[in-house]
Amino acid sequence: MTDITVPTAAEVQERLLKGPYHQWLGLEVLTVGEGEITLKARWREEWVVNPAGGYTHGGILAALVDLTADWALVAFTGKGVPTLDLRVDYHRPAKGDLTAVGTVIKAGKQFSSAEARVFDSEGRLVASGRGLYATATA
């Protein structure tokens, strides 16, 4: 697809965890491919939106959709890409550790799009979405 060398999971992990929010989410890079990434987020009690239900706040799910789609593009372009627009769909309440899979949909010179799917600890789809990102060279 490109002349970019795909970084290793360890290289992406090191870059990703420079962000304090990413550290707080407990992110672990499971796999990286050209325009693809799989992340795991370790459940935290602070994610709970309603103690009676015990499920994860939608803002956490939206953040996982955004950053997973974004980092799929990082695996493709080799550089960070700012989010221009984001769409998130919620499919069911989420509990426990979460796994997010991101894939580049279209890589362009100015703008690119990527999608992400978030799964609960039982492998059920809990959220999905797609984003538009600025990929113009500086």
SS3 label, residue 111: strand
* The predicted structure's pLDDT at residue 4: 64
Helical H runs in the chain? 9-16, 20-25, 58-77
* The predicted structure's pLDDT at residue 137: 64
pTM of the model: 0.92
String of DSSP letters for 28-97? EEEEEETTEEEEEE---GGGEEETTTTEEPHHHHHHHHHHHHHHHHHHHHSS---EEEEEEEE-S---S-
* The predicted structure's pLDDT at residue 50: 87
Domain ranges of the chain: 9-134
Q: For each of the chain's 138 residues, which pLDDT tens digit applies?
A: 446 677 889 988 999 899 999 999 999 999 999 889 999 999 999 999 988 988 999 999 999 999 999 999 988 888 888 999 999 999 999 999 999 999 999 999 999 999 999 999 999 999 999 999 998 864
Architecture of the 9-134 domain: Roll (3.10)
* The predicted structure's pLDDT at residue 138: 45
Residue with tokens 């709970």: 48
Separation in Å, CA 82 to CA 39, 45, 85, 132, 135: 19, 29, 9, 9, 8
CA distance 112 to 51: 38
Q: What's the distance, CA 98 to chain centroid?
A: 11
